[in-house]
A and B are shown apart, each in its own frame.
Chain A
């Protein structure tokens, strides 16, 4: 399952690593939009599969941040 950004912004940090187990609603990344830090949460329980972006990347709406399986 893909985790995507809800709004345009810059990636501040990726708060998980590949292979890590997460529960639904765990914080997985932080992006900055309009000078505000916005957390991205895991939509469901699973294992972080592939992280597609890194800190400093600019994202548009619906860009995929990572996959969860």
Chain B
């Protein structure tokens, strides 16, 4: 009888909760707070936070071989299915018009990838292994799905920390960009008014995704999963004859996979995997990566101004850190502060979307170099 009671009690999760579990619950509640009260990336932070919360209950078996959350992870993230599906949806929402109207902005998006490499070397210095450093470095690209895609390929044990660092810093873009961009520019440079972008024809917009595939995938084959789906989504949108596919890509499908992605990522953050010194390292290097990325874009813009007659406002370089479209909005507001009649939003969208492509290419290059 006593044995039976003891056995029943032992079967209750309550008695197996560790201090670590409770700390992870606190992490989950912080994510809920940010999502609900501060409206920071709620679509992601709610599922991720809930995944963290539930994954830190003992004895649930959710992370066991056939556990529910384990399956979300195994069949959605570990086999690299979901991030490319998210890219399909992003492609169906991305207007490449501003990049096509001013292709120079590609260089700004590329320069911002300096953050990835800066963080990569920083991580190596801190004693992370090569693949781990690659996974941490990609935080500097400020792109959630790409970060998840790459960290899963290179260092799955860091996935939770990398994903949460990437999304948190993306949410902090309005706080990170202004001081960096301001320190590197003069008032005069920030006041540069850029000429209106030319109209981009429908034909150009249809040809672009195909051309981008030819160039990018043949140069960096490992970027194919992300780039191909991104460009397919974009082709859906721009060709104008598959309205239904465009709609499902950017709405229903995107929403479904976002839930699975969030739970899968959140469930990786158990006390044992997250409460480690490594996590602090990931977050520290992550912010440095963001700052370097932002600086890289701005400095590239200033360099281009030395050689080019048509001056660009160096602030738009800061939008090269991806984080679409938040970074572009921040840049716009900084420009408007110096001169209310300076409308940088569309100009900043160029480096902004170029940054997304740049980060995906970087991820592909890191995979082929490090695996």
State the A residues within 8 Å of B (CB).
6-8, 25, 33-36, 38-39, 41, 43, 61-62
Contact = CB atoms under 8 A, between A and B. Distances in A.
A6 B196 CA distance: 7
A23 to B, nearest CB: 13
B268 interface: no
B332 A36 contact: yes
Interface of B: 196-197, 199, 325, 328-329, 332, 340-341, 343, 345-346, 349
Contacts, number: 33
Nearest to B340: A41
Nearest to A61: B196
26 contacts: A6-B196, A6-B343, A6-B346, A7-B343, A7-B345, A8-B346, A25-B340, A25-B341, A33-B345, A33-B346, A34-B325, A34-B329, A34-B345, A34-B349, A36-B325, A36-B329, A36-B332, A36-B345, A38-B343, A38-B345, A39-B340, A41-B341, A61-B197, A61-B199, A61-B346, A62-B196
Contact of A43 (B199, B325, B341, B349): B341
Contacts of A61: 196-197, 199, 346
Contacts of B349: 34
B328 A34 contact: yes
A41 B339 CA distance: 11
A4 to B, nearest CB: 10
A21 to B, nearest CB: 19
A1 to B, nearest CB: 14
Nearest to A36: B329
The 3 residue pairs across chains A and B that have the minimum distance between CB atoms: A6-B343, A7-B346, A34-B325
Contacts of A39: 340
B250 to A, nearest CB: 14
A25 B341 CA distance: 8
Given A34-B329, A36-B325, 16 more contacts: A6-B196, A6-B346, A7-B345, A8-B346, A25-B341, A33-B345, A35-B325, A36-B329, A38-B332, A38-B345, A39-B340, A41-B340, A41-B341, A43-B341, A61-B197, A61-B346
Contacts of A41: 340-341
A25 B120 CA distance: 46
A24 B328 CA distance: 27
Nearest to B347: A7
A39 B345 CA distance: 12
A25 B196 CA distance: 19
Nearest to B341: A41
A40 to B, nearest CB: 9
Contacts of A8: 346
A8 B328 CA distance: 15
Nearest to A34: B325
A41 B199 CA distance: 23
